[in-house]
Amino acid sequence: MAKQDYYATLEVPRDASADALKKAYRKLAMKYHPDRNPGDKTAESRFKELNEAYDVLKDDQKRAAYDRFGHAAFEGGGPGAGAGGFDFGGGGLGDIFDQVFGDMMGGRRGGGRQRAGADIRAQVEISLTDAFTGTKVPLRVPTRIACEACAGTGSESKDRAAETCPTCHGAGKVRAQQGFFLVERACPTCGGNGRVVRNPCKVCQGAGTVERERNLNVQVPAGVEDGTRIRLAGEGEAGGAGIPAGDLYVHVGVRPHEIFQRDGANIFCRVPLRMTQAALGAEVEVPVIDGSRTRVKIPPGTQTGEQFRLRGKGFSVLRSAARGDMYIQVAVETPQHLNKRQRELLEELENEASAHARSSPESEGFFAKVRDFFEGRP
């Protein structure tokens, strides 16, 4: 089944900006996250497709390759061909040029053997406070590890491990003439390994690896954002005899907080105030993301939507001791469910306010314009 276009997967146009891509990814990833759709295989598949598409399009180099070559830029051992690796270090676009021009320019740049075991991709979700402080997250990963019975050699006889493949002579590739070009493919005898096992291990059947479940503790640094990807080199699947292990890519999701909203290194906190507090002025105590408290002085006459900046009380900055700022966003609350005495006091206040326009200049100014509008009509 053909893969869907990455832009269509993220529901954005091909000229979408980096910010537009990020917003689209976050919106859809939240909608189809497995934790929000337990047991829904369709949502799980959609979530994986979103991660794959965003991993490519958020990188300028990979996006340029995709725009030019489509999915072919990431096939044949390149990014996206494994179990989640998207580094541009091997395969992909480089292999496309090698296959077409390698022999004309004097051969390929490197050997044809498999470079490493398969990469693994995993997802963890942490709280906003854990993202602020940094944390260790336990992770259980189904993977392949080196076979203990044969020490990863794949051979039953420890004194006679894998031998050089007689078909490709260790290259892992075979060549075939196609018109004017010589095309390289994985060797059918050794499967691209470059070596064959004459007396395979009975436990791993000569693969050198067995399926296991590993328990890891992933260190998530302070300041990570939602969607951050952490690469753990060599923690992916074992590659078998003589082949290094792949990498583990951990995608970090940050849960929304009930009090704070984050924007980069800044924190926003919406603080509702009583009408009297906003009118007369007040001093209120508000929480800080680091677990402390601070007092904020609200001047008389404060309006809904006004913000107060608290320097250095925002979010952690990744790989830095610095912190962003915290913004208190005021929301003036209209009184509800008034008792008799409260109503009398407000009515008295309204009578006084009506007699003195300066107490509500914006309201008086608006209705003055309304009167002028109607009086000026023919």
State residue 241's pLDDT score.
Answer: 60
With residue 334 as reference, give the H or E element that holds it. none
Beta-bridge mates of residue 178: 181
Q: What is the pLDDT of residue 36?
A: 81
Least confident of 94-103, 183-192, 281-290: 94-103
Residues 204 and 149 sit within 8 Å (Cβ to Cβ)? yes
Which is it for strands 266-274 and 326-333: parallel, antiparallel or unpaired?
Answer: parallel
pLDDT at position 136: 95
Share of the chain above pLDDT 90, in %: 35
Task: Calculate the dihedral angle through the C-alpha atoms of 165, 171, 176, 178, rounding to the nearest 10 degrees.
Answer: 160
Half-sphere exposure of 105 (CA within 13 A, CB side): 9
C-alpha span between 273 and 286 (Å, rounded): 12
Task: Give the pLDDT confidence of 126-178 residue by residue, as tens digits.
Answer: 999 999 999 999 998 887 777 877 877 777 776 566 677 888 877 778 887 66
The pLDDT of residue 160: 61
Out of 41-50, 82-91, 279-288, which region has the weakest mean confidence (pLDDT)?
Answer: 82-91
Are 162 and 196 in contact by the 8 Å Cβ rule? The answer is yes
Q: Which domains does the chain have, with CATH numbers?
A: 260-373 (2.60.260.20)
pLDDT over 50 at 362, yes or no: yes
Residues in Cβ contact with 201 at an 8 Å cutoff, skipping those fewer than 6 apart? 147, 149, 150, 153, 154, 155, 156, 208
Q: Tell me the average pLDDT across 107-136.
A: 76
Q: Mean of the pLDDT values across residues 246-260? A: 92
Q: What is the pLDDT of residues 211-248, one digit of tens each?
A: 888 888 999 999 999 999 999 988 888 776 667 888 89
CB neighbours of residue 231 within 10 Å? 14
The whole-angstrom separation of Cα 292 and Cα 134 is: 17
Counting residues of the chain whose pLDDT is more than 70, the rounded percentage is 82
- Contacts from 125-129 at CB under 8 Å and sequence distance 24+? 125/35, 125/252, 125/253, 125/254, 125/255, 126/220, 126/252, 126/253, 126/254, 126/255, 127/254, 127/255, 127/257, 128/254, 128/255, 128/256, 128/257, 128/260, 128/262, 128/289, 129/257, 129/289, 129/291
Q: Which residues are annotated as a binding site for Zn(2+)?
A: 147, 150, 165, 168, 187, 190, 201, 204
**DSSP structure class, residue 168:** T
Closest CA to 312 of 267, 347, 264: 267
Q: Is the pLDDT of residue 106 over 90?
A: no
Task: Give the C-alpha separation, 274 to 170, whole Å.
Answer: 78
| Chain length of the chain | 378
Beta bridge mates, 124: 252
- pLDDT reported for residue 179: 60
Beta bridge partners of 310: 326
Q: Does position 98 have pLDDT exceeding 70, yes or no?
A: no
**What mean pLDDT comes out for the span 361-369?**
77
pLDDT at 111 > cutoff 70: no
Among 71-85, 181-195, 211-225, 285-299, whose mean pLDDT is lowest? 71-85
3 state DSSP class of 262: strand
Q: Give the closest residue to 240 by CA, choosing from 199, 211, 198.
A: 211
The per-residue pLDDT of the chain, averaged, comes to 80
Question: Which is more confident, 159 or 264?
Answer: 264
pLDDT at 76 over 60: no
What are all long-range contacts of 97-101, with beta carbons under 8 Å and residues at least 24 apart?
99/183, 99/184, 100/181
As a dihedral over the C-alpha atoms of residue 81, residue 82, residue 84, residue 90, rounded to 10 degrees, the angle is -70
DSSP H helices, the chain, are 6-10, 18-32, 41-57, 60-69, 93-101, 128-133, 275-280, 340-355, 361-375
147: which 2 tokens? 């076979």
Kindly state the average pLDDT of the residues 242-259.
88
DSSP bridge partners of 252: 124
Note the pTM of the prediction, 2 decimals: 0.56
What's the pLDDT score for residue 87?
A: 37
Task: Please enumerate, by residue number, every residue annotated as part of a binding site.
Answer: 147, 150, 165, 168, 187, 190, 201, 204
Tokens linked to 335: 């009184």
User: Which pLDDT belongs to residue 113?
Assistant: 43
Where does the pLDDT of residue 94 fall: very low under 50, low under 70, confident under 90, or very high at 90 and above? very low
Average pLDDT over residues 329-339: 93
Q: Sheet containing 266-274: which strands, arranged edge to edge?
A: 260-263, 266-274, 326-333, 307-310
Give the pLDDT band (50/70/90) at residue 299: very high
Using an 8 Å Cβ cutoff, are 171 and 113 in contact?
yes
